[in-house]
Every structure is written in C-alpha cells, then in structure tokens.
Structure 1
Amino acid sequence: MSASDDAAALCTVRDLVRWGASRFAEAGLHFGHGTDNALDEAYALVLHALHLPFDLPALYLEAAVTARERDAVLRLLRLRVSSRKPAAYLLGRIRFAGLDFEIDERVLIPRSPIGELIERGYAPWLRQPPARVLDLCAGSGCIGIATAAVFEDAEVDLAEIDAGALAVCRRNIERHGLGDRVRAIRSDVYEGLGDARYDLIVANPPYVPEAEWRALAPEYRHEPRRALAAGEDGMDVVARILDGARERLASGGLLICEVGGSVDAFAARWPRLPVTWIEFERGGDGVFVISREDLESAHARG
C-alpha cells in the first residue's frame, strides 16, 4: 500500500489519533511537556487540527473526517515527528492550574506541580490570603497569573529577565483581564523590583545541571536554555533566590521554590536549611517551602 493509500484509510477522528500515536512511538519521541504518552499527545494535536475541544464527547471520535481535515491533521502529526517540538509549542497554548495560557519558544512550557498547589490555594501553607505575591523567573507568567485568579485581592508581580518572555507574560495578563493587579517587570531575580516586599514568593527557576541539560531529549532543546540550565550543579539561580529572600519577604511571608530532580544538589549546598518538601497528589516533587522566620534563623546560625 502506498503512503497516500495508507492516509486515505484513516477515516475517523479515532483513526487519526491511533495513527499519530503509532508514528510517535515508532519515532521514539519524548513526552514530558504536558502529556506523558503518545496517545494523549496525538489526541491533543488531532483535536487542535480539527478545531475541536479537548473535552470532546467520545461519541464524536467515530465521526468521519473530510480529505482536507485529514490532510491538516497529518501535516501537524508529521511536524511533531520531524521537528521534535513538544505538542504545546505546536498548539501555541497549554492549560495550567485550570487556566489557558499562550506560549511559544521564548518561554518554558508550563508543567510545574506548583499548579496543584495553586488550585488548593496554597493550603495548608498559607494561613491567610496574601496581599502581595512575587512570581520569580516567571516565564509565561502562568504561576503568578493563576495565583492572582485564586486570590482576587492580591497584587502580583511577574519578574522575568528575558524580554521575549516578558512579552508573553503581558499577553497572558491581558488574556485573563488582570492588568489592574498583575504587572510584568524586567528583573534579574530581585534586581529590578525596587524595595518591594511580598507575603508570598513563588519561584520556578532554572535548576538543571549543565551536564544534564546537554543529555536531555531533543524536545527540551526547543525550550530556552536559560530557563533550564543553571551552572554545574543547577543551583546558581536558586542560591540567589535564597540569598535575597529574607529581605524580600514580609513578616510571616513564605518562599515556595521548585528544584525538580535537583533535590540532592540542593541538599548538598544547604544541608541544614529547614525547608519542608511539599507532597503532591497528582505527581511531581522537588518543591520546598520555607518561611521568612526560618530563613532568618538559619542566617543567624551561619
């Protein structure tokens, strides 16, 4: 059977999803940017190409597609294989903490387990709604914007060093109608924030060791290197966040920071820092919380 005959045999939405998943598995693609398997990735791309919602009732998976629709789907599925771009970049958007965000290759694809924490209002760590929140290394702005959506009276700063990422932040602020409470600021960690203090600082900084970054699957090479790699042990930016957090947190304030798979590197640098590692119901790890007071005590002990 020729390639064209093969394509012509794909008649329904379900056929296209199955075909895409098979091609993805055959090509050895990597999944870790919003999906974790070939079927889910193919499903997302097929529905996007057909202009259908992700919560499509199962009945419509048996719907026949036109020749034009089939061609559009196959172009997108083949692009996923040939480019090795994660599906989220091909779609130009992703859902995080219950909200849709625009993204492109100027920002990291949102996938932090902090999203689960946001959805539960940072319970049990926050005892009262924060008045001021800082999203450090904001990227697309997803963490800060989703936090602002939960705490409707909070003022939120999105701090980001990269001008391209700031442009994406601003689009997402506008998308969610939060321009009166959320602002994007060009800032190298805290340098650019003036003397502002915050009740909550949330950070998803780069934390991948250089050697590990060089060994990542090709999909990760489409993400900004500076959003992933951070020195020999991955802790260069985390160190700056910790060093300045005491001065930036208000009394009773909290720092929540993700270090992902670099927990051992974190523990090697700060073996006596009294952080608490957060457990997540939906998977993910490597996120710690520490209060301003505990940071002060640790600093006093040296």
Structure 2
Amino acid sequence: MPQSKALAEVAQQLHTIKDYIRWTHSQFNHHKLFFGHGTDNAWDEAVHLVLGSLHLPWDFDPSMLDARITHDEAVIVLSHVEKRCLDRVPLAYLLGEAWFAGLPFHVDHRVLVPRSPIAELIQNRFEPWLTDEPMRILDLCTGSGCIGIATAYAFPYAKVDLADISEGALSVAQSNVERHYLEDQVSIYQSDLFNDLPKDGYDLIVTNPPYVDDEDLTAMPQEFSHEPALGLGSGLDGLDITRRILRDAPNYLTNDGVLICEVGNSEFALQDAFPEVPFMWLEFENGGQGVFMLTADQLREHAELFAAEVTSG
C-alpha cells in the first residue's frame, strides 16, 4: 500500500471516479480486508468508500463515473484507502456515517457500526410479531440510536426511549435524534440497562446488547478493535448482559408487551442455558440470525429461572 510520496504518484496515475473505484477494489483484495461493517465484499466497499469520500449518492448518474477527481478530492480518497488497508479502520468511521434501515446515521468510535438484522424487522414494522401498533417503545443498549430512531419512523405515533450506559454513545445518539428532527418523539436516558428508566410499561422492548463471548472476542478481525469494547463483550459465554435483560424486562413491559433481543452467535449458548424457555428465533430474508422474541407472559412465566441464573452468575 503506497504512502506519502508514493500516494502522490498514485494520484498522478488515477484520474476518474471509475479509476479510483477500480484501484481501491484492487487494494482491498491485496490487503485481504475483513468486510462486515456495512458491506460484505471488496467491490461494494470500494464503491462506498470512493462515493462517500466524494459526498456522492449511491444512485448518482453512472455517466459521472468518467468525471475527473480533483487533487484535494484525491487526497481524501487515498487517505481513506490507506487507513482502511493499513489500520483496518471500519469505513463508517472514516466517513463518519453509516446507513441502517434505509436511513443515514452519524457514527464514530464511541459507538458500534450499525449492522443488526433487526433493521429488516423494523422495515417490516415487526409484522407479524406485533398484533397491535406499539405506543411506547424502548431501544435498550441503543449505541448510535439507529434501532430506536428507525423504529420511530416505522411507528410515528409511538413514544420511543433510547437507553445506554455510555455517555459517549448517548452523545452520538442525541446527534442522530436531532439529525432526524425527532426530539418531540424520542427521549434519551443514561442507564445501566433498566436501572435508571421509568417503569412506564413498554409495548415493545428491542435490544442489541453486547453478546460476544470471551473466545470470539479475542479471535475477532482487527476491524473490531476500533469499536468500543463495552459494546461487544459480555462475559465467558456472551450472555452476562442478556441474562439481566431477561430477568428485568417483564417489570418494564405491558401485559401484551414483547421483547426482541439479538444475541448473535451466542444463540446456542442461550438455548443451552435455558432449555425450558420457548425462545422464538426470528428468520430473515436478507441474512442474519440470533434474534429471539419472548412475550411478557413468557418472561414472567420463567421469571424465577432468569433471576436464579443472574444470582448464580
């Protein structure tokens, strides 16, 4: 990967948007990058990097691919390629933006890069899992606020609360609430899970908590080292935080309320820990796994079991 003076030589050889996309794609393949923060292949990531660096939309006129890039623009693109390849910085952090459920969100190193399959559930308005439109919604472990904000779009008459323990994450979430002009619909709480939340009764609690187990955490590609560890790891089996959510969620749900929670690869550990619990594992057309649903009644039925697991842990 060329640096400094060598980068200037590269800039002299590349001219058009198309040139930079082709060259970026080659660099990504050469450096064998990991793709899992918004794209899943080198070509899509190269297109995203070049267009994003130039502040061009995905659906811009293809004839513009032959437009020449200015010197100042080239410096920005090449700098992003260098950081992506050499430092393994996720692209969303380089651009300061990620897309989730068809919406743009500001992101930086204080929050995880949005990538949850829950986006598909939101775009489908959680059908058929919700029988009635929710009026009170909680996005627990909100991070950038993407899940709660996208849910606010899906249910414009609902009041949505975003909660996270991280002050830095909530600062990012607040910026996204303001970006989408949702201050009247979305509220923000700094809270260690449910500890500092009002017991108002939510019709829907949706959460993507930390769920990576210790073994997977040490084996993750370098890109993940740029994300906040607080948002990833959750103990030996990845379930420390999920156990607390299962124990406390019924106290914050209405009688007909629903909990939807993502646990990713810790799905199998969760089933082993609670074989008696009828987790409903949701399926996704666009890929993804490890998201379950439980009703308030189911959570209350197994409340003693969940409480005992947290106490013993």
Scaled by the length of structure 2, what TM-score is found?
Answer: 0.92
Show the counterpart of 1:161. Answer: 165
Distance 1:256 1:84 in 2: 32
Is the 1:274–1:298 contact (alpha carbons within 8 Å) kept by the matching residues of 2? no
Q: What SS does structure 2 have at the residue aligned with 1:134? A: strand
Deviates most, 31-40 or 235-244: 31-40
Distance 1:50 1:175 in 2: 21
Letter in 2 for 1:277: W
Show the counterpart of 1:136. Answer: 140
Shift of 1:297: 2.5
1:189-213 CA-partner distances (Å, limit 9, x unpaired): 1000032210000010000001211
Shift of 1:82: 2.1
CA RMSD of aligned residues (A): 1.6
Distance 2:33 2:305 in 1: 48
Structure 1 pair 233–300 and aligned structure 2 pair: CA distance change class (3 A): closer
Show the counterpart of 2:28. Answer: 24
Is the 1:206–1:227 contact (alpha carbons within 8 Å) kept by the matching residues of 2? yes
Q: What SS does structure 1 have at the residue aligned with 2:187? A: strand
Show the counterpart of 1:121. Answer: 125
The one of 224, 232, 237 aligned to 1:233: 237
Any gaps of 5 or more consecutive residues in structure 2? Answer: 307-313
1:223-260 CA-partner distances (Å, limit 9, x unpaired): 01010000000000000000011111101100000011
Q: What SS does structure 1 have at the residue aligned with 2:302? A: helix
Letter in 1 for 2:136: R
Show the counterpart of 2:109. Answer: 105
Shift of 1:77: 1.1
Scaled by the length of structure 1, what TM-score is found?
Answer: 0.96
Is the 2:247–2:303 contact (alpha carbons within 8 Å) kept by the matching residues of 1? no
Letter in 1 for 2:108: D
The one of 13, 18, 39 aligned to 2:17: 13
Distance 1:300 1:64 in 2: 66
1:137-177 CA-partner distances (Å, limit 9, x unpaired): 00001101110111111011111000000111111111111
Q: What SS does structure 2 have at the residue aligned with 1:22? A: helix
Matched, 1:289 2:293: yes
Mapping of 1:1-302 within 5 angstroms? 3=6, 4-299=8-303
Q: How many residue pairs align between the two structures?
A: 301
Shift of 1:102: 0.6
Q: What SS does structure 1 have at the residue aligned with 2:178? A: helix
